Amino acid sequence: MTKKRILPPDRLAECEAAHALFLARKNELKLSQKKIADEAGMTPAAVNLYFKGINPLNAKFAAVLARLLDVPVEKFSPRLAEEIRGMRMAPSAESDHKAGAAEKVMAMLRQHAGKKLDEDAQQRIAAAVADSLVDERPSNVVSADFSGLKVKKDEIFIPQYDIRASMGHGQVPPDYTEVMRNVIVKESVLHEKGVTFTSQSALAMIFGWGQSMEGTINDKDPLIVDRGVNEFVGDGIYVLTWHGHLYIKRLQFFDEDHFWLISDNEKHKDQQARIEDVTIHAKVLLIWNARKA
What pLDDT digit, counting tens, does each position of 108-130 carry?
555 555 445 555 555 555 444 44
With 80 as the cut, is the pLDDT of residue 167 above it? no
**Judgement on whether residues 118 and 222 belong to the same structural domain of the protein:** no
Structural domain tally of the chain? Answer: 3
Please state, rounded to an integer, the average pLDDT across all residues of the chain. Answer: 77
Which pLDDT value is given to residue 151? 72
Which pLDDT value is given to residue 69? 95
What pLDDT digit, counting tens, does each position of 43-77 carry?
788 898 899 998 889 888 999 999 999 999 999 99
Amino acid at residue number 14 = E
**Judgement on whether residues 44 and 118 belong to the same structural domain of the protein:** no
Q: Is the residue at 21 inside a domain?
A: yes
Q: Is the residue at 147 inside a domain?
A: no
Which pLDDT value is given to residue 138? 41
Q: Is the residue at 149 inside a domain?
A: no
Q: How far is CA 287 from CA 163, 171, 194, in A?
A: 17, 23, 13
Stretch 224-247: mean pLDDT, rounded? Answer: 88
**Judgement on whether residues 114 and 20 belong to the same structural domain of the protein:** no
**Judgement on whether residues 106 and 193 belong to the same structural domain of the protein:** no
- Give percent of the chain with pLDDT exceeding 90: 26
Which of 128-142, 143-157, 200-214 is predicted most confidently?
A: 200-214
**Judgement on whether residues 208 and 84 belong to the same structural domain of the protein:** no
**13: domain CATH number?**
1.10.260.40
What pLDDT digit, counting tens, does each position of 269-291 carry?
899 999 989 989 899 999 887 66
Q: Is the residue at 97 inside a domain?
A: yes
Which pLDDT value is given to residue 202? 87
Phi, psi angle pair for 243, to nearest 5°: 50, 40
Question: What residues make up the domain containing 125?
Answer: 93-132
With 90 as the cut, is the pLDDT of residue 233 above it? no
**211: domain CATH number?**
2.10.109.10
- Bridge partners (DSSP) of residue 248 are 239
**Judgement on whether residues 76 and 99 belong to the same structural domain of the protein:** no
With 50 as the cut, is the pLDDT of residue 147 above it? no
**Judgement on whether residues 113 and 218 belong to the same structural domain of the protein:** no
Q: Is the residue at 127 inside a domain?
A: yes
Task: Give the pLDDT band of residue 3 (cuts 50, 70, 90).
Answer: very low
Which pLDDT value is given to residue 110? 52
